[in-house]
């Protein structure tokens, strides 16, 4: 497996598009690892300090993710090195999407990612340049539809991704506040934890969890886990942290989800980052960003009983290797690690589900399809691998073997 993985990591991406914003000095990269299936997909992120190598690693991760979520296309990613808090963010995004528009119309599909919102940023800007949907390039490249088929598939995408969730089983607010795009990734992360416990014959209710990052993914994961009977004992975010060794109630977690971490008990980040890793927990969900989780933090969590990590963030471990460095290897050998390309594949799966264009678009059909996809990926591993450790190694072996062969 390691030889195949090394070969996959070291193979140069098929396309690297580099961009420099003359107006504000922002720089961006669009990396297509391969045009497998005549198309590639991956979202757009923005942060200060982002570089080409980060985008390359994320594009390769997306390629592996598509072996789970479908369709059978190449992995890609867009990344912009710019401060997302700058009020000129929209100007930068507009110039970026204008530059990559020919690819978005031909064979590249994108969406939201860190600090770039699918509904409020990507769709309005790309529509302004005449794109029917940010996934149009995949529809054209992979499916090669006639005009009627294209209209049908893109119509499904437009309806499904922005669909307001109305079923109380999937949202804390049935009054139309949350969309599929807001909730599906966190739902998938939560379902990955649920399915693991079912497949490996373990009890989930009553387990304690720490969530790192309280954006769309982390907050939704925390909300859904709480609904499953998991006790949230810690939430840490750059804005601060909440820690309660006895756990927060479902009502409190729902309030944090709706209103953010606004609480008189909020601990400043610096203080919390020194203490939260010693809070006893069974489950850890890193959702804050790439390469933030340190080995020393994991060692402290393991010492206090950690059993499982489900990766809400892409490439969450602080390793120089793209897929399997020292930190991830330590975690995978010590406990269960559900890799990012399974745990957080919910949005990629929604795109694939909608582009197929056959099923009825309902809350139940979309969420159930994502859940079943994640269950199938874990069941495939379970049939060949009974241990609760080294699950990421096995998952990588299966996916990379498929890609390299």
Model confidence pLDDT, tens digit, residues 377-399:
999 999 999 999 999 999 999 99
Main-chain dihedrals φ then ψ at residue 208, nearest 5 degrees:
-105, 145
Those residues whose C-beta lies under 8 Å from the C-beta of residue 397, and which sit 6 or more positions away, are 1, 4
Residue-wise pLDDT tens digits, 235-269: 999 999 999 999 999 999 999 999 999 877 899 99
The confidence band for 4, taking pLDDT boundaries of 50, 70 and 90, is confident
Say which residue, 210 or 265, is predicted with more confidence.
210
pTM (predicted TM-score): 0.94
Quote the pLDDT of residue 151: 94
Quote the pLDDT of residue 18: 98
**Residue 259, Ramachandran bin (φ over 0: left; ψ between -120 and 50: alpha; else beta):** alpha
Given a cut of 80, whether residue 156 has pLDDT beyond it is yes
H or E element, residue 158? helix 147-161
Cis peptide before 71 (omega within 30 of 0): yes
Section 96-112 average pLDDT: 97
Quote the pLDDT of residue 285: 98
Other beta carbons less than 10 A from residue 248's beta carbon: 22
Those residues whose C-beta lies under 8 Å from the C-beta of residue 5, and which sit 6 or more positions away, are 323, 324, 396, 400
Given a cut of 80, whether residue 359 has pLDDT beyond it is no
* Percent residues over pLDDT 70 in the chain: 100
Given a cut of 90, whether residue 323 has pLDDT beyond it is no
Section 119-145 average pLDDT: 97
Over the chain, what is the mean pLDDT? 95
**Residue 27, Ramachandran bin (φ over 0: left; ψ between -120 and 50: alpha; else beta):** beta
CA 271, 274, 275, 280 dihedral sign is: positive
Given a cut of 90, whether residue 6 has pLDDT beyond it is no
Quote the pLDDT of residue 360: 87
The confidence band for 358, taking pLDDT boundaries of 50, 70 and 90, is confident
Q: Collapse the DSSP code of 255 into the 3-class scheme (helix H, G, I; strand E, B; otherwise coil) and give the result.
A: helix
Residue-wise pLDDT tens digits, 292-315: 999 999 999 999 999 999 999 999
The Cα–Cα gap between 65 and 307 comes to: 24
Q: Collapse the DSSP code of 32 into the 3-class scheme (helix H, G, I; strand E, B; otherwise coil) and give the result.
A: strand
H or E element, residue 75? strand 74-81
Say which residue, 36 or 359, is predicted with more confidence.
36
Quote the pLDDT of residue 106: 97
Section 119-147 average pLDDT: 97
Those residues whose C-beta lies under 8 Å from the C-beta of residue 368, and which sit 6 or more positions away, are none
Q: Collapse the DSSP code of 180 into the 3-class scheme (helix H, G, I; strand E, B; otherwise coil) and give the result.
A: helix
Quote the pLDDT of residue 322: 84
Quote the pLDDT of residue 3: 86
Section 51-62 average pLDDT: 95
The Cα–Cα gap between 156 and 25 comes to: 37
């Amino acid at each position: 497996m390691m030889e195949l993985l090394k070969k996959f990591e070291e193979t140069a991406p098929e396309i690297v598009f580099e961009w420099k914003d003359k107006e504000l000095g922002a720089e961006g990269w669009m990396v297509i690892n391969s045009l497998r299936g005549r198309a590639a997909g991956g979202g757009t992120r923005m942060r200060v300090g982002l570089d080409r190598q980060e985008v390359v690693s994320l594009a390769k991760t997306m390629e592996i993710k598509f072996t789970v979520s479908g369709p059978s296309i190449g992995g890609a990613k867009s990344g912009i090195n710019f401060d997302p808090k700058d009020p000129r963010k929209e100007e930068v995004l507009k110039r970026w999407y204008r530059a990559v528009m020919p690819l978005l119309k031909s064979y590249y599909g994108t969406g939201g990612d860190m600090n770039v919102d699918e509904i409020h940023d990507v769709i309005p800007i790309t529509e302004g340049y005449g794109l029917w949907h940010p996934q149009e390039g995949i529809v054209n490249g992979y499916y090669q539809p006639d005009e009627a088929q294209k209209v049908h598939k893109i119509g499904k995408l437009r309806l499904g991704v922005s669909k307001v969730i109305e079923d109380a089983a999937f949202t804390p607010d049935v009054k139309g506040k949350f969309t599929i795009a807001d909730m599906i990734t966190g739902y998938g992360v939560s379902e990955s934890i649920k399915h693991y416990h079912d497949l490996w014959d373990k009890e989930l209710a009553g387990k304690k969890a720490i969530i790192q990052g309280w954006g769309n993914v982390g907050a939704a994961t925390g909300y859904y886990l709480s609904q499953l009977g998991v006790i949230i004992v810690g939430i840490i975010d750059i804005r601060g942290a909440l820690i309660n060794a006895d756990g927060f109630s479902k009502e409190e977690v729902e309030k944090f989800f709706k209103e953010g971490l606004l609480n008189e008990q909020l601990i400043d980040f610096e203080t919390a980052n020194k203490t939260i890793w010693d809070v006893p927990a069974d489950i850890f969900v890193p959702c804050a960003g790439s390469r933030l989780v340190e080995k020393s933090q994991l060692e402290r969590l393991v010492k206090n009983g950690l059993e499982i990590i489900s990766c809400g963030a892409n490439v969450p471990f602080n390793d120089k290797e793209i897929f399997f460095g020292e930190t991830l290897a330590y975690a995978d050998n010590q406990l269960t690690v559900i890799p990012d390309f399974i745990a957080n594949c919910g949005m990629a799966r929604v795109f694939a589900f909608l582009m197929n264009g056959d099923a009825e678009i309902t809350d139940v059909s979309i969420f159930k399809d994502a859940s079943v996809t994640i269950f199938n990926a874990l069941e495939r591993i379970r049939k060949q691998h009974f241990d609760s450790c080294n699950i990421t190694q096995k998952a990588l072996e299966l996916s990379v073997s498929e890609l390299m062969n």
